[in-house]
Amino acid sequence: MNRIILMRHGETIDTVLNVISGHRDVSLTEQGFFQAHNVSKQLSGFGIKSIISSDLTRAKRTAEIIAYELGLLPPKADMRFRERNWGKFEGMPKRCKLSRKDWEKPPEGETSTDFHIRVMTAFNELSDLTMVVTHAGPIRCILNTFSIPENTLAPGEYVCVDF
């Protein structure tokens, strides 16, 4: 059995404003930095061997803090763990209603199928006791693939996937 720890990056200004970040490279807020430090205390007994993160600043910085606090090597960035590219919808309020067509393929964005393939290809290369600091979308994608009830993690929250 393998265990992978999935964590959503800490809070950002886009989180506070409730807008779609996608590939926008936004930084952590003070609360986001606090969340990264706090979660490392919770994870100290998990036996994490390595950390991989999305290459976007909000995930990378969260992962760097946790790796440092746990005494691990610096995390490796993997762009395949990026949030979905929402194209022209990035920066818009999350409450905007998307048509089925726009949901499947946002203008100048990434199809839902391409997103799923990208994330799951990266996930399937992970080894036991790896932590992945990523975004809400990739986490939902992975949980859905394993038929784990969909759960949108709040910034700074994590979930373990045993398979």
Q: What three-state secondary structure class fits 104?
A: helix
Q: Where are the domains of the chain?
A: 3-157
pLDDT of residue 27: 95
pLDDT over 90 (residue 43): yes
pTM over 0.75: yes
Report the distance separating Cα 148 and Cα 10, nearest Å: 23
* Average pLDDT of the chain, as a whole number: 95
Active site residues: 9, 83
pLDDT tens digits for range 103-136: 889 999 999 999 999 999 999 999 999 999 999 9
pLDDT tops 80 at residue 84: yes
The pLDDT of 76-95, averaged and rounded, is: 94
Highest CATH level, class, for 3-157: alpha beta
Q: Compute the residue count for the chain.
A: 163
- Higher-scoring residue by pLDDT: 147, 58: 58
pLDDT at site 101:
86
Distances (CA, A) of 103 to 74, 87, 88, 110, 120: 35, 11, 12, 10, 19
pLDDT above 80 (res 47): yes
**DSSP 3-state of 6:** strand
pLDDT of residue 97: 77
Facing residues of 132 across strands? 6, 52
pLDDT at residue 150 greater than cutoff 80: no
Residue 14's pLDDT is 96
The pLDDT value recorded for residue 18 is 94
